[in-house]
Amino acid sequence: MMLRIKRVPTVVSNFQKEEVGESGQFGAGCGRNCIRHCCLPGSKLPLYAFKRLNKVDNEKDLVGLEKKEAPVEFLDSLLLGEWEDRMQKGLFRYDVTACETKVIPGKYGFIAQLNEGRHLKKRPTEFRVDKVLQPFDENKFNFTKVGQEEVIFQFEPSEDDDVHFFPNAPIDADNSPSVVAINVSPIEYGHVLLIPHVLECLPQRIDHGSLLLALHMAVEAANPYFRLGYNSLGAFATINHLHFQAYYLAVPFPIEKAPTKKVTSTRNGVKISDVLNYPVRCLVFEGGESIENLSNVISDCCICLQENNIPFNVLIADSGRRVFLFPQCYAEKQALGEVSAELLDTQVNPAVWEISGHMVLKRKEDYEGASEENAYKLLAEVSLSKERFQEVKTLMFEAIGSIISETERVGDSLLEKPDIIPPQEDVEDALNKGSHPALVPV
């Protein structure tokens, strides 16, 4: 039996079409200034070439604090500056900076946002949720159809040992560049999409190169309030074209504050821990002798989940130092009719941002009545059972050749807390002032 749920498609581009009959085949000079071969000849976009990080000797190297000064400030001047430029040009469907946001009282500090702009009355489409790996379909919307004005820069590894910025670089169609584009239905300030090798039309599945690229973007941003997220098919990815999401929110996510318990370490020093006292069972990865070591371990786990048809979400936090991996089952429960009507009525799809504690609410009544109990109830439905989570962990550890240590006990010295957690009043003050910088240089 195929499991499907009725979903309202998320609009991420002004060029997105939902008509069933649209073939997506444009002739030469389609008139949309897209990034397909019909419009690419002669096109140029800014290019940020990042330095590959090979050996990581200490934490400062990993977050990029000891690198040679870049020719352009990646986060403020380039990413957020170009995002603001697109906002001033009216490319977004609504002003996300006007959305109400608050911290929900309680021990977790869940963040609630009222984002009515994402809840638009459109014809629902069917979405299959029982297959994590599905072939790319060029007849459906994909990111080659976006307009070039929605793409803010190319993001590629440097050919030497330095960072470079080219404000007007040709698009090399033969080498299928990775690009960063705006999300026209943003969740937060600076909401963008990282699309690896956009012209290769890869389906939504993680591989070693794509996750490493996402980690490099987190390192270049060098700001713990800029996170990247990934949703697999079956875990509320809405477009089957490989992409990561990212945005800036100047408060800690609840998942980042949760205590952890070390489970095991790999031979190259990547530490894997359980996250404790959180409604969604998950793992967190950190450390390693290099950023590539860290990326490879996480990629191997994601590939294992994909091949075993287990939906999952990924959060890249702390400027690439910590990565959370959430196997989940909400869409499957939803398709089987096992989710309560009360939760379904909210129309909240618990993807990576909601699971991490940033609850994007579509109805004013849900925002005004937001409580820790309601947020916890939703996320608890996302989580695998204790027994199933243990089975999934065993699958992943077998895939990476790691053995669970038998020495860990809750409450012993291996129970850890994040390094620095701002006081609650600082979090609320940041939200009151707005989650984005007062001024972004351009």
Q: Which residues are catalytic?
A: 243
Phi, psi of 9 (to 5 degrees): -65, 140
In 3D space, the residue among 243, 433, 234 whose CA is nearest the CA of residue 331 turns out to be 234
The token duo for 227 is 């996170």
10 Å CB burial of residue 413 (0-12, 13-18, 19+) is: exposed
Distance CA 15, CA 171 (A): 20
- DSSP lists the bridge partners of residue 285 as 272, 323
Residues 6+ apart with CB under 8 A from 397: 264, 403, 404
In 3D space, the residue among 331, 362, 384 whose CA is nearest the CA of residue 126 turns out to be 331
Q: Residue-wise over 165-191: b if at least 16 C-beta within 10 A, else e?
A: bbeebebeeeeebbbbbbbbbbbbbbb
In angstroms, how far is the first alpha carbon of the chain from the final one? 53
Instruction: List the Cα angle 209/232/256 in 5-degree steps.
Output: 85
Distance CA 12, CA 411 (A): 44
In 3D space, the residue among 437, 442, 372, 441 whose CA is nearest the CA of residue 190 turns out to be 437
